[in-house]
Structure 1
């Protein structure tokens, strides 16, 4: 474990003792469980992908011994910032990356805004004092995330480039004109009429939705993944979704998150037969439709995406969340709802001179990937608005 020396800095209203550490022992994740849960509750910009249950489960099934780098900052003993990271190698460069980044739609650090100034400074210092890495790569940073504060005050070079587009729909408050009705009101009248007819068809057929209690979540997640695999049979599927470690990670994480009100697993039944399942992640500000599965023949009978969207919007409305995020990707089946696009950013924080080469390679690979997808082309250069250099 690397420990920075305690220091005295001015805190809001009083002087305070600050301590910062970078934990390498895997036992630290377990020992800090309650502190990390509490900090998540005090981190309004954090998403469900920063919950303790998501991170701990992922590390248990994917983590590599000796690579944990859990940076923490305390003020008068209270945890006020945390960056759960892992050391690794990308494209030949030693880097730090957020835990669970490959299975997460958003990456960030945890930060209590009441201690932001001191916490960010100490977090940066603790990371810079940690040897063996050239760049910290945060690939999917949502607008308004705490990582933007860290990047803005990073004392060395930092870069940002556009990352994935996420699509969002407003959930609204209570009463009429909210939820699915508010979404349909965004559509042309004729299209909205067709969608309402499809909803009536779902109701007439008697398809019901049930929220699964925490003790039944593992079995429900396994059933969801079975349906997900069946629905993609004969078509390209994310290969990780078919692997046992992903199945076990998702079941374990979802069980803890449902218990804590951070997720919901919905099951859809038709004549007591399970026909679809949906995992919804519940954040401070939005709910996210993470993964679903449905019987292949169900799609020929009802509009599955419409059926699930209605329930997700109702869940967000009932929990007083602002929106439903359709998460990464701008696929046509999402665009038909006329959602609001929200662009993530990739933030790279440099520690050594090699970070410049790493950032350049990352930008080049992003450009080539965009061209293969038939997108608009490379991000703008350092002087362009799409990908400015944060600071030198």
Structure 2
């Protein structure tokens, strides 16, 4: 980064919940300018995460905002916390563990000065941390190729595979291109369920949001309990997070919460996030007793129809290589993990 560019870039630290909330509108405006950004990088997802999970011993909010000539150009929503070895001070992205794609938000119009400034800020304050661990960074993210400033070094490794399905302008052509086995299961599931009771597919709105979120918890838990597992929505904090984030995501136009109503009751749920031409399939659930009629496939098919109706080009199944994702025709995309260390990082952090 040249001296002239460096002089025009400043990095602000956001270290309180109040400041984070006050920053949300500017952060959301930057998100709108970033066509590669996902809803997982939006304040409607990440602020509820911090609100619900950030109040833990040793956790310190450390969001970095880089401005070029006064205009916000990058946001790195970070925090400092004890690592797996509690004596190691680790920098991680807000949203770790239950969030996909947690990389920094970078304005594509920026020439690299903003990300360089954030890395330089990390280097200038290396006495606060021992390792910076950035997970689930997508292919093509500028952070993967950004040069490290003096005093820092980065290690990058492949991390997860995310099956992604290309959508089409014509939904009929899209479904006609699926396998005969999958098309048969879709037709048979609708026919069998419709023969038993009224069947309808719906999308949550503000009036029905609470019902849909309750059904999301109930059906996800029941679906996994049928296999002797707990699922991913255990605990009051996790449920509080999803209630708050669902409200904020809906207000931001990013929530894709669909349901299959069978005999008057929600019997399958698709919880997704959408924006910038992509829909991300986050979690779902269904009544296990309907399993032979493929409710998971039916609600996924409905979610794809709705995605194509809004003009989405991709349907991202997110992390995990479950067979059903490839049955739809999804193709793997890679994420990466970047670990940044400095000269004084202790050996136990390496």
TM-score, with normalisation over the residues of structure 2? 0.89
Shift of 1:133: 1.0
* Contact 1:19/1:74 (8 A) holds in 2: yes
Query: Aligned residue for 2:239?
Result: 247
Shift of 1:309: 1.9
Query: Aligned residue for 1:378?
Result: none
Distance 1:242 1:192 in 2: 32
Distance 1:20 1:203 in 2: 57
Query: Aligned residue for 1:274?
Result: 266
* Number of matched pairs: 340
Distance 1:342 1:356, change over 3 A: farther
* Contact 1:227/1:295 (8 A) holds in 2: yes
Mapping 1:1-392, distance limit 5 Å: 9-10=4-5, 17-64=8-55, 67-92=60-85, 93-130=88-125, 131-149=127-145, 152-155=146-149, 156-174=152-170, 176-178=172-174, 180-182=175-177, 184=178, 187=179, 189=180, 191-192=181-182, 194-198=184-188, 200-201=190-191, 204-205=194-195, 206-238=198-230, 240-300=232-292, 302-354=293-345, 358-359=349-350
Distance 2:232 2:183 in 1: 38
Unpaired segments ≥5 residues, structure 1: 1-6, 360-392
* Contact 1:8/1:18 (8 A) holds in 2: no
Distance 1:72 1:101, change over 3 A: same
Deviation digits for residues 172-223 of structure 1 (CA, Å, limit 9, x no counterpart): 1135312x333x1xx3x4x245335425526744421111113432442122
Deviation digits for residues 9-49 of structure 1 (CA, Å, limit 9, x no counterpart): 349xxxx7322122222221111011111011112222111
Distance 1:237 1:8 in 2: 56
Unpaired segments ≥5 residues, structure 2: none
Q: What's the Cα RMSD here? A: 2.3
Distance 1:29 1:82 in 2: 11
Distance 1:160 1:234, change over 3 A: same
Shift of 1:143: 1.4
